[in-house]
Amino acid sequence: MHTPASMVMGIVFSPLGLVLVFTAAITPQWREGQARLGMSGPGSVLRLGVKGQGSVDSLLLLRSDGLWESCLQVEQSELKQCWPVAGPYQRDPRVRLTQGLILTSLFLCGIGIVLACIGVRCWTDLPLRGVAATGGLLVVIAGVLSLTALGVYTHNLGILGMSSQGINNPRLPQLSLRAAGSLYFGWLGSCLQVLGGSALLFSFKRPKCPTCPSCPELPACPACRSCPEIANKPDTDVYEVSC
């Protein structure tokens, strides 16, 4: 069987996009920021955990947030603490919307890839074009959903979870937040999903088959045995004219 190039492209790009979006979803580097924390004064609790640093007046704190986990690390130190997202950041409706869209995207993309694999059907003569194209449509929808989620998060990146009791507490050091690596994985994976799903959508278009030399009104496809010149050929020749 000659598998159309669009199907091959879709069946390669779609799982790759799913892996990248899943990687972005489970990693806590959607946004990151850093701030200096003074070590002087009785309230400096972090200095108890920093040893061998000599006389240190301030520490550089690295903060990163994901969809389900946040982390805090002291630069040039083994001190790192991660915890499930909580507080104003967790309750922010834009964060919740992003979480829901990403989960829906992963589910739809997984179902679409399964349908695409069934539709390609490498073990038979002709692919199930309708099934493969339906899987491609689901993958495209999944890619659009993840792009929407990433767009919402990126647009509001600096203000997510900000409140008088959140990250912006005046008693805590001010963080300068910026996009982090997980966002880039998500953007790349979402684009691959849309690209792979669009390639699978071309499966809806059935290629034009050559006509039978003896009977021009009959198609000369391996699935149609009405053409005498095709029906009388051995199976190896039949596969060669597969459309």
At residue 153, the pLDDT reads: 93
Mean local confidence (pLDDT), 37-45: 53
pLDDT of residue 19: 96
Is the per-residue pLDDT at 149 higher than 90?
yes
What pLDDT sits at residue 75?
75
pLDDT over 60 (residue 240): no
Q: Is the pLDDT of residue 230 over 50?
A: no
Average pLDDT, integer, range 132-153 = 94
Which of 90, 86, 55, 56 is closest to 74 using CA atoms? 56
Q: Which residue has the higher pLDDT, 24 or 120?
A: 24
Q: How many angstroms separate the CA atoms of 153 and 151, rounded?
A: 5
What 40-45 contacts at long range (C-beta under 8 Å, 24+ apart), as own/partner pairs, is none
Positions of CATH 1.20.140.150 in the chain: 5-38+60-204
Highest-confidence segment of 19-23, 63-67, 229-233: 19-23
Per residue in 177-199, pLDDT (tens digit) is 888 889 999 999 999 999 999 99
Handedness of CA 197, 184, 158, 61 (dihedral sign): positive
Rounded distance between C-alpha atoms, residue 156 and residue 95, angstroms: 9
Residue 28 half-sphere exposure toward CB, CA atoms < 13 A? 17
Contacts of 56 (CB under 8 A, 6+ apart): 39, 47, 50
**Which pLDDT score, from 0 to 100, does residue 140 have?**
96
pTM of the model: 0.73
Question: Does the pLDDT value for residue 168 go beyond 50?
Answer: no
Out of 1.10.10.10, 2.40.50.140, 3.40.50.670, 1.20.140.150, the CATH code matching 5-38+60-204 is: 1.20.140.150
Question: Mean pLDDT, the chain, as a whole number?
Answer: 76
